[in-house]
Amino acid sequence: MTNDILDTLFATLQERNINRPAGSYTAELLDAGEDEIVKKVGEEAVEIILAAKGQGNERLIEETADLLYHLFVLLVSRGLTLDDVRKELAKRHHTP
């Protein structure tokens, strides 16, 4: 599996932000506003902790995917991109 699935997902979320298709959970979340989005981010973060502390690796993977999705929605709602995050990570990465 390649890492471009994250870019594909992010592009889909950006498209949903622009077009807001009926029946789209992403569009509903974006319409609900930032308070609802950050609430979901917090819920997913807690679920990751619970998964890590006793629900097994498969559950941890599922919850990580949920958290990444909601973090991406938050970034899209702010007009930010994965490249913004990549640039920040690159600034923090120190090669010996």
pLDDT tens track, the chain, 96 positions: 455 999 999 999 999 999 999 999 999 999 999 999 999 999 999 999 999 999 999 999 999 999 999 999 999 999 999 999 999 999 999 766
The distance of Cα 37 from the centroid of its chain, to the nearest Å, equals 10
pLDDT of residue 1: 46
All domains of the chain in start order, with CATH = 4-92 (1.10.287.1080)
Residue 23 vs residues 11, 20, 27, 56, 68: alpha-carbon distances, Å: 18, 9, 8, 32, 21
pLDDT of residue 86: 93
Q: Which two tokens stand for residue 57?
A: 């690796």
Q: How far apart are CA 96 and CA 85, in angstroms?
A: 22
pTM, rounded to two decimals: 0.91
Among 10, 71, 61, 7, CA closest to 39: 71
Neighbours of 73 (CB within 10 A): 23
